[in-house]
Structure 1
């Protein structure tokens, strides 16, 4: 019984480690005029430029411009979102998943505090 429990805990820790490694982490480069520019570490060989701004129409909310180095993009503005690849519109499935010919971007943005989570999986 103890061996099974230890093995289960070890597997769960390994899964969490892999998931954490796949998620991007970002560092704050600068804040000017309510515009926060973040540059992320790589996630499957792509880099992200992340721009978070205060909403001009919804007090306390944040907006997001998210661009990957491979041409994929995601924009959230005042409750509306859109995605694209090389200036072509893409569908957002289930609010989080965007698929193009280069891979799938999963992204979540909290407009209340500007927090973001994303991961890109190449095809």
Structure 2
């Protein structure tokens, strides 16, 4: 994708490859769940969420963290405009993950995260 550890994308956001999960003592994305939640991040649910993949957003700082197959990438958004552009791209790229399902006599109902909660 890119040879250096940082890259500026089309939305003027800086992406930084921070290392591998092992560098942080992480064997899976679950290590980052509590660490990032305690730092003000929220999980951004996707259909790809698994032990090897997760995305978290801190809307107050405009920072996004992705754990993908061991790689840890942080995206820094310098403005509201850049943050909204990044969020729009993320919503278009990542199908929403199902938060939970209910089953009843008439079938099942799936519930999804309200992604508008990430807007600022």
Report which of the two has the higher share of strand: 1
* RCO higher in structure (CA 8 A, sep ≥6): 2
Same fold, TM-score > 0.5, yes or no? no
**TM-score for both structures, normalised by structure 2:** 0.34
Report which of the two has the higher share of helix: 2
Give the greater-gyration-radius structure (CA). Answer: 1
**TM-score for both structures, normalised by structure 1:** 0.33
